[in-house]
Structure 1
Amino acid sequence: MERYDLIIRGGSVVLPEGVTKVDIGVRDGKIAAIATVLEGETEQEWDATEHHVLPGMIDVHVHFSEPGREHWEGFTTGSAMMAAGGCTTFFDMPLNGIPSTVTEEALLDKARIGNEKSFVDFGLWGGLVPGNEDDLQPLAASGVIGFKAFLSTTGNKEFEAVDDMTLLTGMKRIAALGKILALHSESAAITNWLKAEKEAAGLVSADDYLETRPILAEVEAVERALYYSEITGCALHFVHISSAAAVARIEAAKARGMNVTVETCSHYLLFNHDSLREKGTIAKCAPPLREADEQQGLISLLLEGQFDMLSSDHSPCPYEMKDPKDYNLFQAWGGISGGQFTLLSALELALTYNVPLEKVAAWTASNPAERFGLADRKGKIAIGMDADLAIVQLHQPFTVTEENYYAKHKQSLYMGHTFPSSVAGTIVRGHVVVQEGNVLTAAPEGSWQKP
């Protein structure tokens, strides 16, 4: 008789070809069997009756700030938060730690910390900044997921935006290394000029902030990056795209055969500029939340398959940085705290717009795995794959509170929002990390994943 470490019984399992009721057998961290009724002995059994089982989410875009700024967010609290939301692998961006991840030494130190502290698996982005072009090859050889650069001012002296010469040189080298460059695409010239005009006039309202980061600034940066990609042959991934006009340029590039993908974030789909008007700095991000008609347009593009994946862009900070004493929206930190809620957001959209759950699995798991070199082990429920699973109650509402939000800082645009679904369990390579909605924090089992 077959023996398993864990059997998940009776769940509606989201397979690549659709949803079916099957049992899943796990052995040595891998999915060892899938059957209508699985026979065999097991050390642990999970009754998933009345639950759906999805591949664990892969969030390709989070900002944990360790080392150096663990008081913003670190691997311990951040990974617990991701696990609570059904995420089994996250990719940490290179910019908010001290030092930033722009050298091999910094990369290996961050990986060491993650291996010690993370409750779920993780990948690490390297950075492209002025002056580190010679660091790209050792970063690639050591296992970065890809590279990240900013086309707009970062507000972070440890991680400066690239100028055009750095961008072209970096893209040529990244192409030669067979890696992907992720880009924050807003025009620094446009956004900085508009910001200076507003501040000089003393105009610092929510509407003023939106006007300093117009859709045109996103489109200009996207178009410029695509031109440079054609010259250098560099594969691109556009992060947190917030406008239909920018997506149109990216879709046209795909149609020309260019190697490019695009993500948006759940906050652009669930919220709009009214949130910044009403809630203030807690809803500030860059690019900004758009007006309601643009929000609806982004939802339509997602449903039409023009976004490759969803991410959180979890970008937290101590609350005093969001609430400066002399109130000025331009001076507050720009970032949305919400890494726990991307899968739940995708499920809300699926239920609202009657989207098959296998599409949710593609947005949140299989597409990220395929794009970033993890599809040999992650991204779908199949025999031989890592046993990375999110067990959800599709029609059990979940209201966000300070008590059930696992991030270090509880201030979030999502606070008080009620999702129609909830995460009952998260399993990472066969280890149960979340059970009955609670994170089990006895022993971190996460590990660094290289493409």
Structure 2
Amino acid sequence: MTFDLVVRGRRVLTTAGEAAREVGVTDGRVVAIEPLGNGLAAERVVELADDEVLLPGLVDTHVHVNEPGRTEWEGFASATRAAAAGGVTTIVDMPLNSIPPTVDVEALHTKRAVAADQAFVDVGFWGGAVPGHHDDLRPLHDEGVFGFKCFLLHSGVDEFPPLDADEMERDMAELATFDAVMIVHAEDSRAIDHAPTPSGARYASFLASRPRGAENLAVAEVIERARWTGARAHVLHVSSSDVLPMLASARRDGVRITAETCPHYLTLIAEEIPDGATTHKCCPPIREAGNRELLWQGLVDGTIDCIVSDHSPSTVELKLLDSGDFGQAWGGISSLQLGLSLVWTEARHRGIALERVVDWMATRPAELVRLTGKGRIALGYDADFAVFAPDEAFVVDAARLYHRNPVTAYAGRALSGAVRRTFLAGAEVDGSTPRGRLLRRGAVEVGAAR
């Protein structure tokens, strides 16, 4: 038979490992995987260079697109173009920082309408769990959101208020009735209130204002409320290594809890952040070198399930680069385009195989949101690919990133591994023609633009 596309290469990463393979694609899905040399025929054939590896497209389940309402911070066109440039073929958009936030079905429809014609990769949506919207949880679930996000302290924007622990438990109990997941920004508001108030340009002042104890307390709360309700829970952006034994213990007890961390916690360390470098401000904060190494160990031993970006952009002005005031600057790091290279650069120094990195950044995030056709190169899966050159080196230039605002904590950083091409459903992403689909839970698509 003749396929729509065949990709041939000496290094193709499938579920059986890395091997010389030919991958046949028809109607946007992988329909054949054969040994290299079998001569699969296609309308279009892509031959990988010897230094390239074919990877499954990454799945990033933690992206703040901010559109509509704060499109000057980021938007679907710029965010998904950046995602594709970094080998990410599926994102799941967070419910806050857009106006309106995705806390009811009407807001979800508004967001989908805005995204429909400008997505360069596939896009799904989280719902929001906020006070006064308990009765919106089931309708949002039925409308296809992938789960629900809540905060246990002020979110940074007034239109997305936090839940207290009892409210979170009530919502978790509701989610348990239809097996939806609650994803939690876990920092304890009381502990933050008792910490020193950050001010000025000293990074040490900001770090002291977000102590690891605040994260530890909140994660313990999430674990217990998940235990009591039987709900699925997921801890977002783990930065404190102290929580790893708690997570491991809870899982041994049968609590349905998972966790993620982010490239900035795995690559940056507090000791190297200059005073005034508000590009590095995020919540929870980047911590010390020893803490970073324990997070890596948590990934290797399986306590942390996946790595996602927490792409949280803003305008240049909100970062207050001139004053460097950590107390007033917006907290968030933009890394959607750079995640694979950042993580691979650190992983290879630790002797960790590329296959493990892909598991953490593609397979496991897809499993978290139950996207059964994503995150692997396998028969029947979407033909979402990244052509990756693991040995190619480059230096990060903020001006060359596709994010809307040229602000990054990684400017001038030397990285290993470059994404050379990205394919979505068998079509190469060109940055000009948006072909992304809007995804519902269960991989049912709406507004497909193929």
**Range class of TM-score, shorter chain:** over 0.9
Given that 1:94 and 1:148 are in contact with CA atoms closer than 8 Å, whether structure 2 keeps it comes out as yes
Higher mean Cα deviation, 122-131 or 106-115?
Answer: 106-115
Partner of residue 255, structure 1: 252
Q: Deviations over 1:252-296 (max 9, x none)?
A: 111111111110001101101134334521100000000111112
SS in 1 for 2:195: helix
Partner of 1:27: 26
- Partner of 1:402 in structure 2? 398
What is residue 57 of structure 2 aligned with on the other side? 56
SS in 2 for 1:60: strand
SS at match of 1:117: coil
Comparing 233-242 and 342-351, the one that deviates more: 342-351
- Hey, what's the Cα distance between the residues in 2 that align with 1:325 and 1:193? 29
Identity of matched residues, %? 36
Q: Which residue of 2 aligns with 1:411?
A: 407
Which string of whole-angstrom CA distances, capped at 9 and with x for unpartnered residues, describes residues 36-67 of structure 1?
A: 12434322221113211111100110101001
CA distance in 2, matches of 1:327, 1:6: 50
Aligned to 1:228, what secondary structure does the other structure show? helix
Q: Residue in 2 aligned with 1:352?
A: 349
- 2:385 — aligned with what? 389
Per-residue deviation, 1:359: 1.3
- What is the aligned counterpart of 2:270 among 270, 273, 283? 273
* CA distance in 1: counterparts of 2:7 and 2:214, whole angstroms: 48
Q: 1:358 deviation in Å?
A: 2.2
After superposition, the C-alpha distances for 1:322-364 in whole angstroms (9 at most, x for unaligned) are 1077653111101011111112223223321222222122101
Give the equivalent residue in structure 1 for 2:78.
77
Give 3-state SS (helix, strand or coil) of 1:229's partner. helix
Does the 8 Å CA contact 1:11/1:47 hold for their aligned counterparts? Answer: no
SS in 1 for 2:131: coil
TM-score normalized with structure 1 length: 0.94
CA distance in 1, matches of 2:342, 2:276: 20
1:328 paired residue number: 325
Structure 1 residue ranges without an equivalent (≥5): 434-439
1:423 aligns with 2:413: no
CA contact (8 A) 2:277 2:321 kept: no
Worse overlay, 345-354 or 131-140: 345-354
Normalising by the residue count of structure 2, what TM-score does the alignment of the two structures yield? 0.94
CA offset digits 1:138-189 (Å, max 9, x no partner)? 1000000110000121120110111233212111111112100000000111
Local SS of the residue matching 1:9: strand
One-letter amino acid of the counterpart of residue 415, structure 1: A
- Residues of 1 paired with 2:22 and 2:94: CA distance? 36
Q: How does 1:131-146 map to 2 (within 5 A)?
A: 131-146=132-147
Q: Which residue is 1:10 aligned to?
A: 9
Q: Measured at CA, do residues 412 and 353 of structure 1 come closer, stay the same or move farther in structure 2, by a change above 3 Å?
A: same
Q: 2:434 aligns with which of 421, 437, 444?
A: 444
Distance 1:304 1:165 in 2: 32
CA shift in 2, pair 1:242/1:365, >3 Å:
same
Deviation at 1:383, TM superposition (A): 1.2
- The one-letter amino acid of 2:48's match is A
Equivalent residue of 1:395, what SS?
strand
SS in 2 for 1:173: helix
Q: Which residue of 2 aligns with 1:176?
A: 177
- Which of the residues 195, 219, 223 maps onto 2:220? 223
- AA at the equivalent of 1:442: S
Q: Per the alignment, in what secondary structure is the counterpart of residue 175 of structure 2?
A: helix
Q: Aligned letter for 2:280?
A: A
For 2:88, the equivalent position in structure 1 comes to 87
Q: Aligned residues, how many?
A: 439
1:192 aligns with 2:193: yes
User: Which secondary structure does the structure 2 equivalent of 1:170 belong to?
Assistant: helix
Secondary structure of the residue aligned to 2:5 is strand
SS in 1 for 2:313: coil
Q: Deviations over 1:201-250 (max 9, x none)?
A: x6763111111111111010000111111111111111100121112111
Question: 2:280 touches 2:409 (CA, 8 Å); kept in 1?
Answer: yes
Q: Determine helix, strand or coil for the equivalent of 2:439.
A: coil
* Counterpart AA for 2:23: I
Task: Identify the range of structure 1 (332-341 vs 163-172) with the bigger mean alpha-carbon deviation.
Answer: 163-172
In structure 2, distance between residues paired with 1:141 and 1:169: 19
SS at match of 1:390: strand
Contact 1:324 1:331 in 2 (8 A): no
The AA in structure 2 aligned to 1:336 is: I
- List, as ranges, runs of 4+ consecutive aligned residues in structure 1 with deviation greater than 6 Å: none
2:120–2:436: 8 Å Cα contact kept in structure 1? yes
2:426 is aligned with what amino acid? G
Give 1:365 shift. 1.1
The separation in 2 between residues aligned to 1:162 and 1:366, in whole angstroms, is: 31
Tell me, what secondary structure is at the counterpart of 1:119?
Answer: coil
| 1:303 counterpart residue number | 300
Q: What's the counterpart of residue 107 of structure 1? A: 108
Q: Residue 306 of structure 1: CA displacement?
A: 2.2
Checking the alignment, whether the CA contact within 8 Å between 1:16 and 1:358 is kept in structure 2 is: no
Counterparts in 2 of 1:402 and 1:209: CA distance versus 1, 3 Å: closer
Q: Corresponding residue for 1:437?
A: none
2:39 aligned with 1:43: no
